[in-house]
A and B are shown apart, each in its own frame.
Chain A
Amino acid sequence: MELTFYAALMIGLLGSIHCVGMCGGIVGALNAGIPQSDRSQLSLAAHHLTYNAGRIMSYTVAGALAGVIGSQAAKFSLGTALPVGGIIAGLFMIALGLYLAGWWHALTAIERAGFYIWKRIEPLGRRFLPAKTPSRAFGLGLVWGWLPCGLVYSALTLSMVSASPRQGALIMLGFGLGTLPMLVAMGGAAGHLMALVRRPAIRQVAGVAIILFGVYTCVTAFSVNGHYKHFVDYGGVAHDMSKQHTNLY
C-alpha cells in the first residue's frame, strides 16, 4: 500500500498547526512589504500564493536531494536484516509528534545543524525584500523554504529513507501541500482559526496522531510487505525497491 504521498500530506497538515505562530509572522511580514496601492484581496492572495509556491518548490528540491543521499546510503548498507530505513523513519516521526505536542524538544538539535546551511542562504533572500510584487514573493519563498524547521527536517528524513530522488521529491511535495491550507488561511488573517489553533489541546492531539503514525511505521517496517524495505539486503546486494513504485499512489 503506497502511503508515501498521502502520509506526507497528513504530516504537513498536522504539523502546520504547530507552525501557525511562526508562519503567521512571515505572512504578516509579507503583507507589510506590499505597497499600499497594491493592497487588494487579489493582490495579497497573489503574493501569498507565489510565496508558498516558492517555498514548496524548495521543499521538493530538498526532498529530491534527500532521496539522492538516501539512495547512496542504501548502496552502502551493511547488509543487516534490520529494516533500518523504516525504523529510522518511524523514530523520527515519534520525535516529531512529541515536539509538536510540546513534550520533547529534541528536534531542535537538528535545527541547529540546519542553521549552518541557512547562514549561507539567508543573505540571498534579502534581495527579495520588501516583497513588493508576486514575483519577488516567489523568490523569497524559494529562499525561505530552507529555513531550519524541525517539521521540515523530519519530513526530509522520510524522503531520505525512501532512497529515491523521485519519491523523495514527491514526499516533500505532499508535505508542502499539506501545509498549504493553514498558511493560506493565515494569509487571510483568519482570526478565529488562529485562536483555535493556539490551544495546547489541539497541538497535543496533532502530536499524538503523528506519534501513532510513527509507531505504525516502525511496526510495519518489520512486515514483509512493508513499505520501507529499501534497505533489505538479499544476499549482500542492496536492493533498491523504489524502482517498483511507478505510479503516484
Chain B
Amino acid sequence: MHCKLCGLSTPTPPIEADGHDFCCIGCREVYRRFGANVLATDATQAPAPAPSISEGADAFLRIDGMHCSSCEILIERTAEKVEGILSVSSSYATSTAKITYDPNLIDESQLPKILSMAGYKARLRADGAQEYDERRSLFRLMVGTSLAAVVMMLYLAFYYPTHLGLVESRDLEPVAWLAFYTVPRVMFVLTTILVFYVGAPIFRGAWIGLRAGVLNMDNLLAIAILAAYGYSVGQLIAGSLELYFDVAAAIVTVVTVGRFFERRARANATGELTKLMQAWSPSARVRKAGEFEQRTVDELEPSDRIVIWQGEPIPVDGIIVEGQAAVDESLMTGEPFPVTRTAGANVLGGTVVVEGNLEIEPGPTVESQMDTLARILWSVQSSVGGVRGVADRIARMFVPVVLGLAVLVTGWSLLAGVPLGTALLIGLATLIVSCPCTFGLAIPLATAAGVSTALRRGIIVTSADTFEKVPRFDIVAIDKTGILSTGDMTAVKIFGPPVAVQYAAAVERLCAHPIAQAIARLDGRHTSTDLAIHAGRGAAAMVEDRRVAVGSKALFAALGWDIPEKLAASAATVGPGEGVVSYVGWKGRAHGAIATRDASRPEWQSVVDRLRTNARVVLLTGAEHAGAYEDGVDEVYAGVPPEAKAAVIKHLGTQGSVVMIGDGTNDAPALAAADLGIAFGAPTALAADAADVVIPGDRLDRIFDAFDLIGTTRRRVRQNLGWALLYNAIAIPLAVTGYLNPLFAALAMSASSLLVVWNSSRPIGRAEPMMAPITAARTKPGTRTGMGSAKKARYQEIGIG
C-alpha cells in the first residue's frame, strides 16, 4: 500500500481518511487541507485571469503627500474598491495619478474627495497647482537637527569617552549627579520630541504601509526607532545607564535630512513636466444669451461661442468668429513673435492672446492639441510608478526578508549568550542599514527625470517603458511624406518663359490646392479674376485680358488646348516620383510647365546616412514612387496601403529590432507594431498616441537626441539598480556579523538613498535646451479625428488607423 499523498509505503494498519490511505498523519492532514491541488507540484496551475479592458473616462489628479511606492499601493487599492472606479495608476515620483472611471456612476469632481485620505491631498489637474509647502518640513528638519545635535553632544561629553575606554568611569564621580542623573533625563525628553514630532512622517509612512498590506522601509525604521527608544526608556526606569537614545535620535535625524533633500531633487528632476502641467488650466468663458458662463473644456459644445480677453490663454482649437488679436503661439509652434489672427482664421488651444479680444467657435471636435499633449504627458507621468516591474517586487519582498533577518540575528545572538543590549544593537543595525528604497527609487526617478529632460529638448516620451528599449536598432523604417519630405509642395523645375510663371502664379493664388499654393508662391506681380476651378485637374482665370489655364495634361486635353512637343519632351524629363507637372497655357496652347514636388527636408540625406552607419534604412511609403529618395536608402517598399504598413513592420521585425518613424494616421498601426515608434514632425493625434516618442517640429536630426536620451536613461536605471544590489549585498552582511554600529548604519542608508537620487537627477547629455519649451505640432488640416486616447492593442488588432 502506498500513501496517497507522498507515495511512500503505508504502515499496517494504514492511516485512513476519506477512503484513502496515508503513510502518516501529516500526509493525511495536508491532503485534507489542500486537496487535489497538492498532487501536482507543478507551479503553473491557475489559468491567467483575462485582462480586463477598461473603457471609461480618464481623469488626472495631483496627489500631494506621496513619498514611496507603498503610498501608490495604498491609494490604488483603496480607490479601486470604490464603486465606479475602474482602474487607478499612480506614481509617487511625479505625485500624479490617473483614474479611469465610469462617468455614469461618478462625476469627475468627486474624485479628489475619494482619493484624499490619511494625509494625502488630491486635486484635479484643472484646479491649478499650489507650490508644495516646504516650510513645514523645513521647520521639522531644523528642530530635528538641533535636538539631535544636543543629544549627540551630551553623549560625546559624558558617555562615549567611557565606552571607548578613553576615560575611567570613576573620573566622572565629581559630576555624578549631572552625568548619571540629569543628563539621561534630559536626553529622554529631547529624544521623545525628536522621535514623535520630527519622526512623525516616518510613523505615518509605516502606518500607511501596514494599511496597504505592505511592509515598507518606514516599517523598518519605525521598528528600529521604537526598539531603541523603548529599550532605552526601559533601562532608564530600571536605573541602568545602557541607553541608546543616540541611536533613536540618529535614525530619525538622518532619515529626515535625507528625505528632505530627496524630495527636492525629485521635484527638480520632474520640474519640466510639472511646469507644463501647471501652465495649463483648461476652462472657458462661454457667451450664452448675452451673459458669460465659466465652463470646463469637457463641457463645451461645438456651437458655443468662447470669449477670450486680452492676456488669457485660448482654451481649445477653434475658428475666430469675431475680433482680431495678436496671438502668442510660441508654446505650440515655437514662433517667437505674436501672430495676428483675424476672423475666419484658425487658432490653437494653449496659445495666448497678447493684444485684443477674440470670440471663437471650437472646431467640430472640441479639442486642443495642447490637451492631447497634456493628456499624453499626464499619462506618462502617472505610469512612472514604482509598483510595476521586477525592481519593485524585489523591494516588496526585501523588507520582510530584512526584518526576518534582523529577528533571526538578534535571536541567534541571544541564544549564543550575547547580552541583550548588544544583540539589540546588532539587530537594529541590520534593520536600518538595508536600503530597499533604492530599489523602489531606482527606476521611477531615473525614468521621470528622463521624461522631463526629453521634454526640455522638445521630445515627448509617451510611455515610461520606452526607456527599457535598447537604443541600438537593426532596421529603421521611415515614412516618406512628412518625414523625409516636409509635406509642403514647392516648385522644383520650370520650363518656358518667365511670363508663364507669372501668369500661373496669378491664377493659382486663389486656389487652395497645395500644388496651386506652391506655384502661387513663385511670383506676385499679377492678379487674376474670374477663376474657374476644374477639380482634380487645374484652374483657369483671366490675367491681363488673357484666359490662362494651369493644370495637368488632362486639363489641357479637356480644354482642347495642345501641348507643343518640345515642351512635352522637356516636361517628360521629370520622372514619376520626382514631381507633378503643371502646364501653363493661354490662347489655345501650353507655353510653359512647372514641376512641383513635395520638398525634401534639407537634412534628410545626412540623417539617413548617419542612420545607415548602424542600421538598415527602409523607406516605407504609400506613395507610388519613392522618387529621389530611392538611392539614399537601403530598401524601398513603395505603394504600401495603410493596412499593410504594420504587416511590413512585423515582417521586418523577424530580421531584427525595428524603429518606425512616421507621422500620419495611416502610420499609427505601424508605429504601434515597431519596437520603437517615433512620431515626427506634425503628427496626427492617433499617430502620437500609437508612438513611443513624439518629436514635433522640423528637425529630423532630433531622432538622434531621442536615441541618446533613451540610452542614457536606461543606463542610469541600470546604474541605480546595480548600486542598490551592491550596497545591500555589502552592507547587510556587515551588519549581521556585528561590524556595524547603528549610527553608521543610519548614515550609510541615507547616503545610499541620496546617491541614487543624485544619480537620477544629473543632467543628461549635452545641455542644449530648445528656445521654446515645447514646439508642438501643426496638425495636418482635416486629419484630426478627435478620438482621444486609443490603446496600442486596438491598433494591432484592427490594423487600420
Asked if A40 and B393 sit within 8 Å, CB to CB, the answer is: yes
Contact A22 B30 (CB under 8 A): yes
Binds A, one of B7-15, B244-252, B508-516, B740-748: B7-15
Nearest CB in chain A to that of B42: its residue: A189
Segment at the interface with A among B45-53, B119-127, B260-268, B755-763: B45-53
Contact B400 A50 (CB under 8 A): yes
Asked if A118 and B29 make an inter-chain contact with CB atoms under 8 angstroms apart, the answer reads: yes
Q: Is B33 in the interface zone, CB < 8 Å from A?
A: yes
State how many angstroms separate the Cβ of B224 from the closest Cβ of chain A. Answer: 19
- Choice from B12, B26, B40 contacting A149 with Cβ under 8 Å: B26
Are A149 and B24 closer than 8 Å at their CB atoms? yes
Contact B49 A36 (CB under 8 A): yes
Given contacts A26-B38, A31-B45, A40-B390, contact A21 B29 (CB under 8 A): no
A122 in contact (CB, < 8 A)? yes
- Determine how close the nearest CB of chain B comes to the CB of A109; give it in whole angstroms: 10
Give bound CA distance, A50 to B403, whole Å: 11
Contacting pair A28 B41 (CB below 8 A): yes
Interface membership of A230, Cβ < 8 A: no
- CB of B175 within 8 A of chain A? no
Q: Is A53 an interface residue (CB 8 A)?
A: yes
A49 to chain B, nearest CB (A): 7
Given A29-B37, A29-B38: A112 in contact with B30 (beta carbons within 8 A): no
Bound CA–CA A43/B38 (angstroms): 19
Contact of B400 among A115, A134, A148 (CB under 8 A): A134
A7 to chain B, nearest CB (A): 16
Q: Mark B407-424, 1 if CB is under 8 A from A, else 0.
A: 010010001110000000
Q: How large is the interface on A (under 10, 10 to 19, 20 to 34, 35 or more residues)?
A: 35 or more
A43 touches B393 (CB 8 A): yes
Instruction: Give A152's nearest chain B residue, CB to CB.
Output: B26
Q: B30 contacts A25, CB within 8 Å?
A: yes
Contacts A42-B397, A43-B393, A247-B417; A27 near B25 (Cβ below 8 A): no
Quick check: B37 and A102 within 8 Å, CB to CB? no
A127 at the interface (CB under 8 A from B): no
Measured CB to CB, the nearest residue on chain B to A113 is B25
Q: Is the CB of B417 within 8 A of A53?
A: no
Q: How far is the CA of A34 from the CA of B790 in the complex (A)?
A: 32
Our pick among B6, B8, B29, B411 for the contact of A122 (Cβ within 8 Å) is B29
Q: Are B404 and A53 in contact (CB under 8 A)?
A: yes
Which residue, of A32, A122, A186, has the highest number of chain B Cβ atoms within 10 A? A32
- Measured between beta carbons, the chain B residues less than 8 angstroms from A50 are 400-401, 404
Q: How far in angstroms is the closest Cβ of chain B from A149? A: 5
B43 and chain A: residue at smallest CB distance: A31
A-facing residues in B387-406 (Cβ within 8 Å): 390, 393-394, 397, 400-401, 404
**Within 8 Å of chain B (Cβ to Cβ): is A184?**
no
**A36 lies within 8 A of B37 (CB):** no
A173 to chain B, nearest CB (A): 8
Interface flag for A114 (CB, 8 Å): yes
Contact mask for chain A residues 27-48; partner B; CB cutoff 8 A; 1 contact, 0 none: 1110110011111101110100
Interface flag for B581 (CB, 8 Å): no
Kindly identify which residue among B6, B11, B48, B415 contacts A21, using a CB–CB cutoff of 8 Å.
B6
B8–A148 CB distance below 8 A:
no
Known: A50-B404, A247-B416. A28 touches B24 (CB 8 A): no
User: Given A24-B41, A26-B34, are A111 and B8 also a contact pair (CB < 8 Å)?
Assistant: no
Q: Is A224 part of the binding interface, using a Cβ–Cβ cutoff of 8 Å?
A: no
**In the bound complex, do residue B5 and residue A46 qualify as a contact, i.e. CB atoms below 8 Å apart?**
no
Please state if B393 and A42 are interface contacts (CB–CB under 8 Å): yes
Contact between chains at B7 and A147 (CB < 8 Å): no
Q: Is A229 an interface residue (CB 8 A)?
A: no
- For residue B3, which residues in chain A have a CB less than 8 angstroms away from its CB? 21
Residues of A within 8 A of B8 (CB): 18, 21, 102, 203
CA distance A40 to B223 in the complex (A): 29
Q: Is the CB of B25 within 8 A of A114?
A: yes
A170 contacts across to B, CB distance below 8 A: 415
State the CA gap A170–B411 with chains docked (Å).
10
**A20: interface (CB < 8 Å):** yes
- Determine the chain A residues whose CB is within 8 A of the CB of B43 once the complex forms: 28, 31-32, 39, 44, 189
Q: How far is the CA of A44 from the CA of B43 in the complex (A)?
A: 9
Does B31 touch A at the CB level, under 8 Å?
Answer: yes
1/0 contact trace for B679-722 toward A, CB 8 Å?
A: 00000000000000000000000000000000000000000000
B27 contacts A by Cβ under 8 Å: yes
The reply on B215 being an interface residue by CB < 8 A is yes
Q: A49-87 CB contact bits vs B (8 Å, 1 = yes)?
A: 110010000001000000000000000000000000000
0/1 string, A95-126, CB within 8 A of B gives 1: 00000001001001001101100100010010
Contact check: which of B9, B15, B44, B46 meets A108 at CB < 8 Å?
B15
A26–B37 Cα distance when bound, in Å, is 9
Q: State whether B394 touches A22 (Cβ < 8 A).
A: no
Cβ contacts under 8 Å, A248 to chain B = 415-416
Q: Given A29-B38, A248-B416, are A102 and B25 also a contact pair (CB < 8 Å)?
A: no
Q: Is A220 an interface residue (CB 8 A)?
A: no
Q: Which residues of B contact A242 (CB under 8 A)?
A: none
How many B residues, CB 8 Å from partner? 46
> B34's contact among A19, A25, A38, A115, by CB below 8 Å, is which?
A25
B39: CB under 8 A from chain A? Answer: yes
State whether B34 touches A36 (Cβ < 8 A): no
B29 to chain A, nearest CB (A): 6
Decide if A246 is an interface residue (CB 8 Å cutoff).
yes
| Cα–Cα, bound, A29→B46 (Å) | 11
A189 to B400, CA, bound (A): 24
Is A210 located at the chain interface by the 8 A CB criterion?
A: no
Interface centre among A134, A166, A203 (most CB of B within 10 A): A134
Quick check: A115 and B37 within 8 Å, CB to CB?
A: no
* B213 interfacial contact with A, CB 8 Å: yes
A138 contacts chain B at the CB level, 8 A cutoff: yes
**Closest chain B CB from A136 CB (angstroms):** 9
Are B415 and A25 within 8 A (Cβ)?
no
Q: A194 — which chain B residues lie within 8 A by C-beta?
A: 41
**A26 CA to B187 CA, complexed, in Å:** 51
The reply to whether B415 and A169 form a contact with Cβ atoms under 8 Å apart is yes
Report the Cα distance A115→B34, complex, angstroms: 17
Least CB distance from B698 to A in Å reads 44
Instruction: Give A147's nearest chain B residue, CB to CB.
Output: B26
Tell me the complex Cα distance, A24–B48, Å: 23
Which residues in A have their C-beta under 8 angstroms from that of B27? 21-22, 25
Interface string of A170-203 (1 = CB under 8 A from B): 1001000000000000100100001000100001
Q: Measured between alpha carbons, how far is A42 from B398 in the docked complex, in Å?
A: 11
Residues of B within 8 A of A60 (CB): 411
A108 x B11 contact (CB < 8 A): yes
Quick one: given A32-B46, A36-B48, A43-B393, are A25 and B25 in contact (CB under 8 Å)? no
Within 8 A of A (CB), among B208-224: 213, 215
**A residues less than 8 Å from B9 (CB atoms):** 102
Q: Which residues of B contact A28 (CB under 8 A)?
A: 37-43
Name the CB-closest residue of B to A28: B41
Closest to A114 in B: B25
Tell me, in angstroms, the Cα distance from A60 to B407 when the chains sit together.
13
Q: Say yes or no for A214: interface residue by CB 8 A criterion.
A: no
Asked whether A25 and B5 contact (CB < 8 A) given A133-B213, A189-B42, the answer is yes
Given contacts A36-B48, A108-B11, A147-B26, 17 further A-B contacts (CB under 8 A): A22-B6, A22-B30, A28-B39, A28-B40, A31-B43, A32-B37, A38-B393, A44-B43, A49-B401, A53-B408, A115-B25, A125-B33, A134-B400, A148-B24, A166-B415, A170-B415, A248-B415
The 9 closest A-B pairs by CB, nearest first: A21-B6, A105-B11, A25-B38, A28-B41, A29-B34, A46-B397, A31-B43, A111-B25, A32-B45
Residues in B lying within 8 Å of A, measured CB to CB? 3, 5-9, 11-12, 15, 23-27, 29-31, 33-34, 37-49, 213, 215, 390, 393-394, 397, 400-401, 404, 408, 411, 415-417
A-B contact pairs, 15 of them (CB 8 A): A28-B38, A28-B43, A29-B30, A37-B49, A38-B393, A42-B390, A50-B404, A53-B408, A102-B8, A134-B397, A134-B400, A150-B24, A189-B41, A189-B43, A248-B416
